[in-house]
């Protein structure tokens, strides 16, 4: 059994009482040595993330070497930043300058971003009827959902965690399929289910630490100039499980399963490893069977130490049997790497945990997206990821991120491919609840349709085929 131990370093105590108490802090993740369950350092803010990891915001002058010598510390690393896979900023400096000029002349071009968290609506009355925009979802048709749905449209008790920028939980086509925490009494200020989160009804917002994981975005001009979130999580959630047959919008791959909304990436498109870990742990501990992860971590580039904290979180998911579907990544490495993640890994997708399914992006002609990573050993399968149609914030549906001022970007990315596979896993598992996660992964890869563009560039050599999957 682990003993309860509290470690306070007297040497550090002396330093922190000095004049530098208000200097900027460094953001660290510390793995506690066996036997230690808590950690304290004078002058540092400590937050427990898991049984063995804590986040420590420590004074700058506290050296890593001194921490590493501390008997309570097994491992120290930075709280690495995490970002969305996609970047919609204008790369051409001339075009960027032209846009700046246009904006200076017409400041009213700037649109307000969604900046508040709306109330979470109650689950709506069910409605029935064909989804009017289904024929715009080339990806759904391509992977054979209509045949798959003859077997099942998904078990309403099957939960997929969308770990991303949050979800527009007021969206008419997502609202009916939100996971609801039945063990929590709403709005009483009490953590009724004792899971560490007060009044968490549909998931959690780890960025703002509130119970409304709304998908906050920045205005299109800011996205073009500086990057940011265009409503990434809402788009991903729609392809997992937009409600089917409700006479509204579209349908996800698994149109009757539930979406758990976990926000850990901000409107700026940035998150931290600490918040990713908390989101993964929340998903695993609160009943998700599948996680959809369309994001990447810094750290672990050539020569840098690894993101051991994130690896441990993925291992925790593996120990509990929760599938970790991950975007293979969009190559930004430049010429020479050729987007091959066997040579230039992208994390978390390239970790060797068996629970991970790494997903490349395909276009309507079975070609790899020009941006898409691939890897004979490190990428598992392809799925629709170019010009993908889905739900967007404020009741919308589109395949276009921005089409303004002569600048156009469509929803392209391994981020968009990943939710298709997450939905497929949930659909198959709904039909075969007795199967293990190993079975589900083997079925997804084994039923993949072989295509030339993924031969020798992926483990399965093919693209997602849910029609074949459901009878595999």
- Which residues are near Ca ion by CB under 5 A? 117, 131, 173, 184-185, 188, 190-193, 195, 197, 199-200, 205, 208, 210, 212, 243, 246, 248-249
For 393, other C-beta atoms within 10 Å of its C-beta total 24
CA distance 30 to 43: 16
**In terms of CB distance, is 89 or 127 closer to Ca ion?**
127
Of 100 and 198, the one with the shorter C-beta distance to Ca ion is 198
235 is catalytic: no
> Least CB distance from residue 89 to Ca ion, whole Å?
25
Choose the catalytic residue: 16, 52, 142, 164.
Answer: 164
Q: How far is the CB of 420 from Ca ion (least distance, A)?
A: 16
Task: Indicate if 66 belongs to the active site.
Answer: no
Distance, CA of 371 to chain centre: 19
| Of 58 and 427, CB closest to Ca ion | 427
> In terms of CB distance, is 249 or 413 closer to Ca ion?
249
Task: Give the containing element (helix H, strand E) for 275.
Answer: helix 273-285
* Smallest distance, Ca ion to C-beta of residue 51, A: 19
CB closer to Ca ion, 187 vs 471? 187
Q: To which H or E segment does residue 82 belong?
A: strand 81-84
Query: For residue 78, how many other CB atoms are within 10 A of its CB?
Result: 18
Do the Cβ atoms of 37 and 4 come closer than 8 Å? yes
**Is-catalytic flag, 415?**
yes
Q: How far is the CB of 385 from Ca ion (least distance, A)?
A: 21
* Rounded Cα gap, residues 84 and 243, in angstroms: 25
Q: Whole-angstrom Cα distance, residue 379 to residue 471?
A: 24
Q: For 415, phi and psi rounded to 5 degrees?
A: -60, -40
What's the sign of the alpha-carbon dihedral 402, 403, 408, 409? Answer: positive
- Choose the catalytic residue: 415, 453, 458, 460: 415
- 380 in Cβ contact with 357 (< 8 Å): yes
Q: Which residue is nearest to Ca ion (CB)?
A: 205
Q: How many CB atoms sit inside 10 A of residue 311's CB?
A: 17
SS3 of 187, please?
A: coil
Find the catalytic residue in 142, 215, 232, 372.
232
Enumerate the active-site residues: 164, 232, 415
């Amino acid at each position: 059994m682990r003993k309860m131990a509290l470690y306070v370093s007297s040497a550090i105590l002396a330093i922190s009482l000095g004049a530098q108490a208000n200097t900027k802090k460094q953001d660290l993740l510390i793995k506690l040595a066996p036997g230690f369950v808590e950690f304290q350092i004078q002058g540092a803010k400590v937050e427990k993330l898991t049984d063995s990891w804590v986040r420590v915001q420590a004074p700058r002058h506290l050296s890593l070497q001194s921490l590493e010598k501390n008997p309570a510390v097994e491992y120290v690393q930075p709280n690495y930043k995490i970002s969305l896979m996609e970047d919609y900023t204008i790369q051409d400096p001339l075009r960027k300058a032209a846009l700046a000029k246009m904006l200076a002349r017409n400041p009213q071009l700037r649109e307000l971003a969604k900046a508040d968290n709306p109330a979470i609506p109650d689950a709506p009355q069910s409605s029935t009827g064909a989804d009017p925009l289904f024929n715009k979802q080339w990806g759904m048709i391509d992977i054979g959902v209509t045949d798959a749905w003859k077997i099942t449209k998904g078990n309403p008790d099957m939960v997929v965690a969308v770990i991303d920028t949050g979800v527009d939980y007021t969206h008419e086509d997502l609202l009916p399929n939100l996971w609801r925490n039945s063990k929590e009494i709403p709005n009483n200020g009490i953590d009724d289910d004792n899971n560490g989160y007060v009044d968490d009804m549909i998931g959690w917002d780890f960025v703002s630490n509130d119970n409304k994981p709304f998908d906050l975005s920045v205005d299109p001009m800011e996205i073009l100039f500086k990057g940011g979130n265009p409503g990434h999580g809402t788009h991903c959630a729609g392809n997992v499980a937009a409600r089917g047959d409700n006479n509204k919008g579209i349908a996800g791959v698994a149109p009757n399963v539930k979406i758990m909304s976990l926000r850990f990436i901000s409107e700026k498109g940035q998150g931290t490893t600490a918040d990713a870990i908390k989101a993964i742990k929340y998903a695993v501990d609160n009943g998700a069977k599948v996680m959809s992860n369309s994001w990447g971590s810094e750290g672990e580039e050539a020569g840098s130490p690894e993101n051991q904290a994130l690896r441990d979180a993925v291992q925790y998911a593996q120990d509990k049997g929760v599938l970790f579907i991950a975007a293979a990544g969009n190559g930004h490495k430049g010429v020479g790497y050729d987007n091959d993640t066997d040579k230039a890994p992208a994390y978390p997708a390239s970790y060797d945990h068996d629970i991970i399914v790494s997903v490349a992006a395909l276009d309507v002609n079975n070609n790899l997206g020009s941006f898409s990573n691939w890897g004979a050993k490190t990428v598992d399968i392809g799925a629709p990821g170019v010009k993908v149609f889905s739900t967007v914030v404020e009741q919308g549906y589109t395949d276009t991120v921005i089409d303004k001022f002569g600048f156009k970007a469509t929803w392209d990315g391994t981020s968009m491919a990943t939710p298709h596979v997450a939905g497929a896993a949930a659909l198959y598992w709904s039909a075969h609840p007795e199967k293990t996660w190993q079975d589900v992964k083997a079925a997804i890869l084994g039923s993949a349709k072989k295509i030339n563009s993924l031969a020798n560039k992926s483990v399965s050599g093919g693209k997602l085929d849910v029609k074949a999957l459901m009878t595999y």
